[in-house]
Amino acid sequence: MTLALIMFVLGMSAVQWALIAVYAYYQRRVFGAMARPIIVLCVFVLLWSLIHTIEASATTLSLKVAAHGAKNIAMLALPISWLWFAASYANLTTWLTRRRLLLIGLVPAITALLIVTNDAHHLVWSSLDPVRMGEVTVVGKERGLWGWFYILYSYGLIIYSDVKMLHFITGTGQIYRKKYLTVITLFLLPVVANPLFSLGILPIDVTPFSLALSGIGVAWTLFSYRLIDLAPLAHNIVTESMADGMLVIDGIGKIFSVNPAALAILGEDAAELIGKPYHSVLHDLMRSQYQSSGSGLQSTGQMQRVVHGELRYLELRMSHLRDENDRIVGRVAIIRDITRRKENEVRLKAALDAEKELNALRARFVSIVSHEFRMPMSIIQVTAEMIQRYHERMDAESLQEKFTTITQQIGLMNVLIEDVLSLDRLQNGSFRYSPERLPVCDTILTLLDEMRVAADVAARVRIESPPEEAEAPIDQKLLRLVIRNLVGNALKYSPAPQPVTVTLKFEGDEFHMAIRDHGIGIPEHDQQRLFDPFFRAGNVGDIPGSGLGLLIVKQAVELQGGSIRFTSRVNEGTTFHVTLPLEGAVPQAVEEEALVEQMIR
């Protein structure tokens, strides 16, 4: 082996590794976590080559021994750099913490100190002697106890790193597998060559040649395979800063790369996602999305996922990854958190539904009011015209009948106006809960007597009251609204002479009033909306009414701290049950916003 050849090979190796270090430095934002271990690895290989050049060309034994020691100190960083590189590549940076890296580097640090002081203890090398190899004189060595320990330690790190790298590669499917294997093989050439010489298997040290060959191979990989593509979707600056999450799935359906946004959206750690089957992470979406096999089309879908106890809505777009032969080797999944958009859609839909209900409410109001006013006004107009034209031919009885008709129709319009005004007073707070302590049964009987002035009402209303009496806080204005509307409806929707029964009774600290009729009843499909404003059951026919009475009753009862319910069967009748407290009534305030919500419900 000639000195010139060795100097040429070492010089070429130094230049190559220097170029790789410079390239990795300028591409450090793209390389991401891999940049630093690559640079450290290249720098120490460069130092090794330069110091090896000094050792080979030195003319004195002392200089050769000093260079030999410095060369071996430079090599101490290679196993740790390789472990660091492997951890970055295989996404194990969470495992290789700074503290753990310092602990692993403790043995090389001790070894460096022992190399410097080897003459005092001979733990690293028991002897160093010059050995002639052709034109070159090298330092021959016999390893000491610590020297063999460090050999085992360093190659243990390298083997562990290789196992992690190979495990990661097997989980990547076909994506970039050739590039991974090529780079690992090229980096391992010197690692394999050096022990072959140390164990006496090779007669000469081929480490310089393997380093040069490795440098050529890595450089070729950089510029033909483009090393920046080794993990392009997980480490480049675009994916690291994008707001949408991105998962890279290999050909066998395993996740091998994620960006920070995906981790935040899914609420997972990188260590938990890498290597997991894609369908186990987004299984709900897998069942709903369209799988485009070989067509190159983008598939989309949506799913729900609970993240940190909160329900999130996710949207996913899936695209194929293809190799240089246009074969599908994996997929890229873009995940977007659309929770806010979904919430806005729900609010918008609720607002639109409320607007539709409000429009329908207005339409019902116009229809009912116009109908309820038009009919009485038409009857009044016709009756008035008849009196005007034919009053001379009419006797007193006929005239009285016509005036009675006009009075009745005016009364119907007054009822409608009174209902609208009562509802308005309930909404704007004009009706205040102002109770007086009064006897319950006597007060209700007095209010019923106001309605029983008419002979037909008195004949049909039956009252069942208990023998005992009790006092309670009663608001007569609100109670009058309840009785007038419930008893009035019972009379209106049950044909004469069917009776209407009002039953009063005391139960504990409550008072119960039931109003029962034997009328047309309420269809089951209309019962849920019975307390809606302007709503009337579908079987009322031409019976007049505003659709406001029961809403007024409900609000008047609730203002007194009570409750109302009903039971009904078509053509059999309806019973309304009103419950009011006897003592300590706590009125339920009917706020304006609640009333408006009820109006548009």
Three-state SS string over 351-378 comes to HHHHHHHHHHHHHHHHHHHHHHHHHHHH
Residue 31's Cβ-count burial label (10 Å; 0-12, 13-18, 19+) is buried
pLDDT at 308: 79
Checking if the pLDDT of 174 tops 70, the result is no
Residue type, 306: V
Q: Which helix (H) or strand (E) holds 249?
A: strand 245-250
- Distances 545 to 383, 419, 588 between C-alpha atoms, Å: 22, 10, 27
Q: Rounded CA gap, 206 and 227, in Å?
A: 26
Q: Which pair of structure tokens corresponds to residue 526?
A: 């209309």
Average pLDDT over residues 447-468: 79
Percent of the chain whose pLDDT exceeds 70: 71
Between vectors from CA 417 to CA 414 and to CA 422, what angle results, nearest 5°?
120
Q: Each residue of 119-131: b (16+ CB within 10 Å) or e?
A: eeebbbbeebeee
Q: Are residues 534 and 548 in contact, defined by beta-carbon separation less than 8 angstroms?
A: yes
Q: Which helix (H) or strand (E) holds 247?
A: strand 245-250
For residue 88, the tally of other CB atoms under 10 A from its CB is: 21
Checking if the pLDDT of 590 tops 50, the result is no
Q: Which pair of structure tokens corresponds to residue 555?
A: 């609000």
Q: Rounded CA gap, 533 and 576, in Å?
A: 18
Q: Say which range, 11-20, 130-139, 251-260, 533-542, has the weakest mean pLDDT.
A: 130-139
Checking if the pLDDT of 487 tops 70, the result is yes
Average pLDDT over residues 506-528: 91
Q: Which has more pLDDT, 288 or 129?
A: 129
Q: Which has more pLDDT, 344 or 182?
A: 344
Checking if the pLDDT of 77 tops 50, the result is yes
* pLDDT tier, 597 (very low <50, low <70, confident <90, very high otherwise): very low
DSSP 437: E
pLDDT at 125: 85
Residue 559's Cβ-count burial label (10 Å; 0-12, 13-18, 19+) is buried
Average pLDDT over residues 186-213: 59
DSSP 583: S
- Distances 524 to 80, 486, 514, 537, 568 between C-alpha atoms, Å: 80, 19, 20, 10, 8
Checking if the pLDDT of 293 tops 50, the result is no
Q: Are residues 95 and 83 in contact, defined by beta-carbon separation less than 8 angstroms?
A: no
pLDDT at 315: 83
Average pLDDT over residues 48-65: 81
Does residue 466 have a cis peptide bond before it, meaning omega lies within 30 degrees of 0?
no
Phi and psi at 40, nearest 5°, equal -60, -45
Strand partners, 436: 474
pLDDT at 66: 87
Average pLDDT over residues 537-553: 81
pLDDT at 585: 46
Average pLDDT over residues 576-601: 56
Give the residue among 443, 451, 384, 391 at the shortest CA–CA distance from 415: 451
Q: What is the 3-state secondary structure (H, E, C) of 134-183?
A: CCEEEEEEEECHHHHHHHHHHHHHHHHHHHHHHHHHHCCCCCCHHHHHHH
Q: Rounded CA gap, 445 and 466, in Å?
A: 12
pLDDT at 93: 65
What is the torsional sign of CA 331, 337, 343, 349? Answer: negative
Q: Say which range, 121-130, 150-159, 448-457, has the weakest mean pLDDT.
A: 448-457
pLDDT at 295: 44
Is 298 in a helix, a strand, or coil?
A: coil
Give the residue among 596, 518, 506 at the shortest CA–CA distance from 551: 596
Average pLDDT over residues 269-280: 74
Checking if the pLDDT of 224 tops 90, the result is no
Strand partners, 303: 314
Instruction: State which of 30-39, 303-312, 401-410, 481-490 shows the largest mean pLDDT.
Output: 481-490
Residue type, 491: L
pLDDT at 516: 94
Q: Are residues 330 and 250 in contact, defined by beta-carbon separation less than 8 angstroms?
A: yes
Q: Which pair of structure tokens corresponds to residue 169?
A: 């590669």
* pLDDT tier, 113 (very low <50, low <70, confident <90, very high otherwise): very high
Cα Rg for the chain, rounded, in angstroms?
47
pLDDT at 204: 54
Average pLDDT over residues 15-26: 80
pLDDT at 592: 38
Checking if the pLDDT of 528 tops 60, the result is yes
Q: In whole numbers, what is the pLDDT of the chain averaged over residues?
A: 75
Checking if the pLDDT of 594 tops 50, the result is no
- The per-residue pLDDT for range 294-352, each reduced to its tens digit, is 344 456 777 777 777 888 888 888 888 776 567 777 788 888 888 888 888 888 888 88
Checking if the pLDDT of 600 tops 50, the result is no
* pLDDT tier, 567 (very low <50, low <70, confident <90, very high otherwise): very high
Q: Which has more pLDDT, 265 or 185?
A: 265
Q: Which has more pLDDT, 324 or 451?
A: 451
pLDDT at 385: 84
Q: Which has more pLDDT, 317 or 172?
A: 317
pLDDT at 253: 77
